Structures are given as C-alpha cells and as structure tokens.
Structure 1
Amino acid sequence: MSSVYATATHIPTGEVTRTLGPFDSRHAAYVAVGEVVGQVLTWERQATGAYLAEKYPMLWTVEEREVGSVL
C-alpha cells in the first residue's frame, strides 16, 4: 500500500525543508501545498512518476511512497 507525500526543497541550497502527508490522493496533496503557499500551483509530471511545481525559492514534489519506506 502506498501513500502520497508532498516535499518542499529550497532551490538555492537543495535542502528539504518540509514534508506534508501522508495523503490518500495526489489531489489532496496538491490542495495542501496550495494552502501552504497561498495559491494554486501548476504541476508537471516527471518521468519518475513524481509531480513538480515551483514557487520560488521552493520546489514542491508530490509522489507516492510505499508504506514503511524511509522518508
């Protein structure tokens, strides 16, 4: 079983600064990120299956993770 998480990475430093989740769906993660940043973001699908959106200086990633995986 997998859960969806949203992770914020500070673009200039590459430091992961925040993780939200777990969520039951990508949509719920998108909504949560929008509430954190104060606007709806445009998400782009990556070849890895993750979705990315930028709100400089943060890069948000939404992806499914297997339950019990290392965060």
Structure 2
Amino acid sequence: MSQIYATATHLATGEVVQTLGPFNTLHAARAAVVEAVGQVLLWERQDPGVFVAEKYPLLWRVEERSTVQA
C-alpha cells in the first residue's frame, strides 16, 4: 500500500520544515500545497510519482511513499 505526502524543505539548510498528508491522489496533495502557500505553483515532474515546486525559501515535494505492513 502507498500513501502520498507533501514535504517542504528549506532550500538553504535542507531541513524539512513541514509535511502534509497523507492524501489519496497526487492532485489532492498538490492542491493542499497550493492552499498552504496561498498561490498557484508551477509543478515539475521529477520522477514517476514525484512532483516538485519552489516557493522560495522552500522546495515542495509531492511523492507517493510505500508503506509496509507486517
């Protein structure tokens, strides 16, 4: 099973400063980031299932993460 999360990383320090999710779709995660930022962002596909957008000083990354259940 996988879940989708959005994380904000500070560009200068590399520190993850915010995480949103889990979401059911990549679109829902990107929409939540837009709402949190307060403006439309230009998303770039980095890898399959991974989108990034910069809103200085943060880099937002939306990705699908696998969850392993025991």
TM-score by length of 2: 0.90
Q: Quote the offset at 1:68 in angstroms.
A: 4.2
The answer for unaligned runs of 5 or more in structure 1 is none
The percent identity for this pair of structures is: 64
Tell me how many residue pairs correspond in the alignment.
Answer: 69
- 1:3-31 CA distance string (max 9 Å, x none): 10000000011100011000000010011
| RMSD between superposed Cα atoms in Å | 1.6
Distance 1:61 1:13 in 2: 16
Distance 2:22 2:39 in 1: 21
More strand by share: 2
3-state SS of 1:29 partner: helix
Distance 1:12 1:24 in 2: 30
Runs of 4+ residues deviating >2 angstroms = none
The answer for unaligned runs of 5 or more in structure 2 is none
TM-score by length of 1: 0.89
Q: Quote the offset at 1:67 in angstroms.
A: 2.1
Matched AA of 2:19: T
Query: Counterpart in 1 of 2:8?
Result: 8
